[in-house]
Amino acid sequence: PTNAAFAALPPATLNSLLANPAQLAQVLLFHVTSGQVLSSQLTNGQNVTTLRTGARPLVVNLTGGVKIDTANVVAADVRGLNGVVHVIDSVLLP
């Protein structure tokens, strides 16, 4: 998620996450998958398993743009040393 996405969280939610590093880590793991998946490999309706143990899968929606659950992808295929990042405009909460 972008910095603006975190800033848009309700203040109580953001403060709770900042005060609890373990909880914040679980939210962040909900945004991470294993492997490198480029946007060209995504399919409509695809379920994506995250690294957060026990979390529901995220769903890809390619109708009218690219969405991961309710978040819009605002930048795709940003390559890093250890993976690929797809930047989204909202924080996904498990």
Q: pTM for the complete prediction?
A: 0.90
Residue where the block lists tokens 């978040």 = 71
Strands (E), the chain: 47-48, 58-61, 67-68, 71-80, 83-88
Per-residue pLDDT tens over the stretch 26-70:
999 999 999 899 999 999 999 999 999 999 999 999 998 999 999
Supply the pLDDT for residue 19. 97
Within 10 angstroms of residue 64's Cβ, the number of other Cβ atoms is 7
- N-to-C CA span, the chain: 14
Instruction: Return the half-sphere exposure (C-beta side, CA atoms, 13 A cut-off) of residue 88.
Output: 21
- Say which range, 12-16, 80-84, 88-92, has the weakest mean pLDDT: 80-84
pLDDT for residue 24: 96
